[in-house]
Amino acid sequence: MRRRRWSTRDPLVADLEAAVGAGHVQAGDAAVHLYSRDGSAIGGGRAGVVCLPGTAEEVAACIRVARRHGRAFVPRGAGTGLAGGAVPCDDPVVISTTRMTRILDVDIERRLAWVEPGVVNLDLTRHLAGTGLHFAPDPSSQQSCTLGGNVANNSGGPHCLAYGVTSAHVAAVEVALPDGDLVVLGEEEGDPVGYDLRGAFVGGEGTLGIATRIAVRLTADPPEIATLLLDFPTIETAADTVSAVVASGIVPAAMELMDQRVVRAVEPHANAGYSLDAAAVLIVELDGLPAGVAREVEAVTRIAGAHGADSVRVASDEEERERIWKGRKAAFGAIANIKPSYYLHDTVIPRTRLAEVVAEVNAIADRRGLIVMNVFHAGDGNLHPLLVFDEREPGVLEEVFAAGEEIVRLSLSVGGVLSGEHGIGLEKRQFMPLLFQPADLDAQRVLRDAFDQDGVANPHKVLPTGASCGDVQGMTRLPEGTWV
Amino acid sequence: MSGVHPGDIEAFAAAVGTDDPVCVRGGGSHWMLGGEPAAGVREVVAPSGIAAFDPAEMTVTVGAGTTLVDLAAVLVEAGQEVALEGPSGATVGGVLAVGRSSLRRGRVGAARDALLQATCVGADGRLFSAGGPTVKNVTGYDLCRLLVGSLGTLALLASVILRTRPVPEESCWLQGQMEPAAVAAGCHRPATLLWDGARTAVRLEGYREDVEGSAESLVAELGLEPIEGPPALPPHRSRWDGTLPEGGILEVGSGVVHGPEPLPVPVPAPGVAALGRRIRDGFDPTGRLNPGRDPYRLVA
Ligand SMILES: Cc1cc2nc3c(=O)[nH]c(=O)nc-3n(C[C@H](O)[C@H](O)[C@H](O)COP(=O)(O)OP(=O)(O)OC[C@H]3O[C@@H](n4cnc5c(N)ncnc54)[C@H](O)[C@@H]3O)c2cc1C
């Protein structure tokens, strides 16, 4: 017997189809399954129905339909988020921006581009090639993550060290608010008029509404770039070099650290030129005008030498530079060769404490019999310890979660924070009270409630709610369409 | 200079109290912006002093009542500065509450990007913190950006952690008869571009050799001439509406125009205004913090 097409009989589906067109609503098992996870280790979510609007007005219409039917909604970009931000709780309407991929306008003179939220980060960069401008935030997931997702998570990337994370590059954003209204927050140029609602929206993890158009600031390409590859005999000497470079007053464009396990996993595939014998490899990129870059190359080389670097190599051409970066950005994919599952953490610590904290992170993993790999944005103290394991080993998951919590507590104990770029989502909301007092959380709730008076936008995310939705599981594969 | 003490912060919260209307007096340098505080409102003063300066971390913890001058004097000893700028007497808290970015924003970034953590007193008299102490942080909502430019209508700043940056080794001003776009194309990341309708003035910052090299090429290729400092800015600062007023000077790319007369303040769209009202009402239901002040009346 053929299965009945129940979707058209479901009034919610019918109303969504009326809003976005019949071909753009998915309610079948496959879709519900596909949209129940993101790039995080969080399982247990369940999409009610998935819709793919094509315009800002359609996004707003989807929100109104969801509300009319008493459903929450969850914005979704490429689903590469690592904190469960796009994992649906309470059978919500998942509103995917994947059809909204137009670059609407690029104003070279004013260094501003208006884009739709589904534009993939790297596609904007490619579109701008040859203009002398680029969009600075470059998450390692830039081949697949969307600008809407970047805005929602206030994402970072290696080059955000000197240039700032997404918030510094978003001038204005058109938002479909949780009440179904469309508003533009922020200004194309300069400081906002009135409250900085744009600044408040960025990093809202989809709980404040849906970004439907984004005005991003474009950054001038640097006239000169030097990419340095440094080898160290220990991870501590590499970390101390990072701290010393920051303390010297140099602000590199990027400063990324990889430990030996990562290097050995990456190098055979990427041929990036990393030394397999080094205990740690550091990538330092310096940019600007030629004389300053030359002086900084000299200074970094001297500082690294004083801290025991085994070698310092400056990329001799663009091809070598690209290979060095390709290796770094492929790191997460390469770990699949070590163990089948991984759990990635994201905390920030003071940059002066890197060496001791990384050593302690490794000790935590050792004590629990786990393998940890470190590949992270060292220049701003943003740790990414990656625990790799085989889920089939009995009891290993408990050890992984316990180690994760220890790493979080360790980071906080030295004056750090819970997340540098992946956000809180579902993954870390229970840790929020470790960093924030009740009054701090109340203030955050005031902001959220002002945007979302009825609690319909991406419920249960960011702030602790007590509700159980989505449990942390081992991550065995990335969702479809995720590039690693 | 003595450091701000946790006890000072608690004393400030106690002074703010829980009931009657209060306003904060900083340096008084921006006193009139966004409306004068309502008559007869009790004044409170935020704590001052530098609690911690960590040059290797490039952050500083400072009482909101500290003057920019006092702060700069401490930072410069380590070759550092913050991206805040204000008239003489201006305090850290006052400048953040007003939220105007530095004339040098092309290099130092927006004022709102300098604030990492804020410890504030809410309308209920409770202390709360927003943001975090590290230079990178996406833990929870970005209340810091909301507080910058809020004119103290959401909470009163007691103490803040600011991002510091290295003071540029060299800087200079140049001016010439040409469009800003031509000047911008001739140099990398100018700190400031000012346009008076006929001439562009530019401020360059960076390493000595680079600034000298860029200046030389702007002089040789575009015919710019060195000037001592920025041209005198007319008294009224407004949001640029796309046309340069008679006698006005535009801060290119910052949306700010300085003119002999103030331009009308733009009116927010109804939905945006309503959202702003909900935020204000949520933070301060009885309107006791800086009554009379309105960030939507703050010009540019
Ligand atoms: C291999 C790998 C490497 C990564 N590297 C980095 C890195 O270097 N730096 C970094 O910061 N992150 C990194 N990430 C995390 C992730 O890629 C970023 O958070 C990214 O910005 C998410 O974009 P997305 O389109 O996939 O969003 P999704 O995962 O689909 O959604 C993320 C959050 O944004 C919300 N959202 C999505 N679109 C909108 C919208 N239009 N309006 C409002 N809310 C919306 C969702 O509800 C959710 O809360 C990495 C992830 C992977 C898998």
Average pLDDT in chain A? 92
Q: Is residue A78 lining ligand 1, measured as CB closer than 6 Å? A: yes
What stretches of A21-159 show up as alpha helix (H) in DSSP? Answer: 29-34, 56-68, 121-128, 147-153
Are B140 and A462 within 8 A, CB to CB? yes
Nearest residue on chain A to B79, judged by CA atoms? A249
Burial-class residue A14 by CB neighbours within 10 Å (0-12, 13-18, 19+): middle
* A164 close to B (CB below 8 A): yes
Q: Looking at residue A3, what is its pLDDT?
A: 46
Rounded (5°) CA angle A91-A92-A98 = 125
My answer on whether B80 and B196 are in the same domain is no
Amino acid at B85: E
My answer on whether A443 and A368 are in the same domain is no
Please give the backbone phi and psi of residue A52, each rounded to the nearest 5 degrees, phi first: -125, 85
Mutate to test the interface with A, among B105, B121, B137, B144 (most CBs of A within 10 A): B137
Q: Is residue A484 lining ligand 1, measured as CB closer than 6 Å? A: yes
Q: What is the 3-state secondary structure (H, E, C) of chain B?
A: CCCCCHHHHHHHHHHHCCCCCEEECCCCCCCCCCCCCCCCCEEECCCCCEEEEECCCCEEEEECCCEHHHHHHHHHCCCEECCCCCCCCCEHHHHHHHCCCCCCHHHHCCHHHHEEEEEEECCCCCEEEEECCCCCCCCCCCHHHHHCCCCCCCCEEEEEEEECEECCCEEEEEEECCCHHHHHHCCCCCCEEEECCCCEEEEEEECHHHHHHHHHHHHHHHCCEEECCCCCCCCEEEECCCCCCCCCEEECCCCEEEECCCCCCCCCCHHHHHHHHHHHHHHCCCCCECCCCCHHHCCC
Number of domains in chain A: 5
CA B103–ligand 1 middle distance (angstroms): 34
Does the residue B289 lie in any domain?
no
| CATH number of the domain bearing residue A90 | 3.30.43.10
CA A204–ligand 1 middle distance (angstroms): 12
Distance CA B233, CA B226 (A): 18
My answer on whether B58 and B93 are in the same domain is yes
B225-269 pLDDT per residue, tens: 999 999 999 999 999 989 999 999 999 999 999 999 999 888 999
Among candidates A187, A439, A451 on the partner chain, residue whose Cβ is nearest the Cβ of B255: A187
Nearest residue on chain A to B184, judged by CA atoms? A109
Amino acid at A260: Q
My answer on whether A108 and A214 are in the same domain is yes
* pLDDT exceeds cutoff 70 at A44: yes
My answer on whether B186 and B156 are in the same domain is no
| Axis crossing angle, helix A354-367 with helix A396-413, rounded to the nearest 10 | 160
My answer on whether A437 and A376 are in the same domain is no
A287-332 pLDDT per residue, tens: 999 999 999 999 999 999 999 999 999 999 999 999 999 899 887 7
Distance CA B59, CA B115 (A): 10
Please give the backbone phi and psi of residue A17, each rounded to the nearest 5 degrees, phi first: -65, -35
For residues A349-362, give the mean pLDDT: 95
* A31 close to B (CB below 8 A): no
CB A416 within 8 A of CB B134: yes
Listed residues B137, B166, B195: the one ending a domain: B166
Rounded (5°) CA angle A159-A162-A166 = 65
Does the residue B233 lie in any domain?
yes
Distance CA A141, CA A138 (A): 8
Q: Is residue A325 lining ligand 1, measured as CB closer than 6 Å? A: no
Does the residue B39 lie in any domain?
yes
Cβ neighbours of A435 in B, within 8 Å: 132, 139-140
| CATH number of the domain bearing residue A395 | 3.30.70.2740
CB B59 within 8 A of CB B164: yes
Q: Is residue A452 lining ligand 1, measured as CB closer than 6 Å? A: no
* pLDDT exceeds cutoff 80 at A475: no
My answer on whether B177 and B156 are in the same domain is no
Give the ligand 1 atom nearest the CA of A118. Answer: 41
Q: Which of B153, B171, B151, B148 is nearest to B33 (CA)?
A: B151
Distance CA A99, CA A116 (A): 9
Cβ neighbours of A463 in B, within 8 Å: 140
My answer on whether B60 and B202 are in the same domain is no
A169-209 pLDDT per residue, tens: 999 999 999 999 999 999 999 999 899 999 999 999 999 99
Q: Looking at residue B27, what is its pLDDT?
A: 67
My answer on whether B188 and B231 are in the same domain is yes
CA A106–ligand 1 middle distance (angstroms): 23
My answer on whether B195 and B76 are in the same domain is no
Does the residue A5 lie in any domain?
no
Q: How far does B166 lie from chain A, in Å, by closest CA?
A: 6
Q: Looking at residue A167, what is its pLDDT?
A: 97
* pLDDT exceeds cutoff 80 at A470: no
Does the residue B280 lie in any domain?
no
Are A417 and B137 within 8 A, CB to CB? yes
Q: Looking at residue B222, what is its pLDDT?
A: 96
Does the residue B270 lie in any domain?
no
| CATH number of the domain bearing residue B81 | 3.30.465.10
Domain that holds residue A288: 224-332
Query: Strand, coil or helix: what is A461?
Result: coil
Number of domains in chain B: 2
**Looking up tokens 């906080």, which residue turns up?**
A412
Mutate to test the interface with B, among A446, A452, A454 (most CBs of B within 10 A): A446
Listed residues A358, A389, A413: the one ending a domain: A413
Q: Which of residues 39-68 of B touch A (CB under 8 A)?
A: 54-58
Domain that holds residue B138: 6-166
Q: Which of residues 189-228 of B touch A (CB under 8 A)?
A: 189, 206-210, 213-214
Q: Which of residues 365-384 of A touch B (CB under 8 A)?
A: 377, 380-382
| Axis crossing angle, helix A354-367 with helix A235-247, rounded to the nearest 10 | 150
Listed residues A220, A241, A267: the one ending a domain: A220
Are A193 and B143 within 8 A, CB to CB? no
CA A482–ligand 1 middle distance (angstroms): 11
Nearest protein CA to atom 2 of ligand 1, as residue: A141
Q: Looking at residue B26, what is its pLDDT?
A: 74
Among candidates A194, A380, A443 on the partner chain, residue whose Cβ is nearest the Cβ of B128: A443
My answer on whether A379 and A442 are in the same domain is no
**Looking up tokens 């030389």, which residue turns up?**
B216
* pLDDT exceeds cutoff 60 at A4: no
My answer on whether B11 and B126 are in the same domain is yes
Q: Quick one: how far is CA B33 from the chain centroid? A: 13
Q: Looking at residue A227, what is its pLDDT?
A: 98
Q: Which of A103, A98, A134 is nearest to A116 (CA)?
A: A103
A339-343, B52-56, B59-63: the lowest-pLDDT one: A339-343
CB B71 within 8 A of CB B50: yes
Q: Is residue A45 lining ligand 1, measured as CB closer than 6 Å? A: no
Does the residue A3 lie in any domain?
no
- Give buried/exposed letters for A279-311 (b at 16+ CB in 10 A, else e): bbbbbbbbbbbebbbbbbbebbbebbeebebee
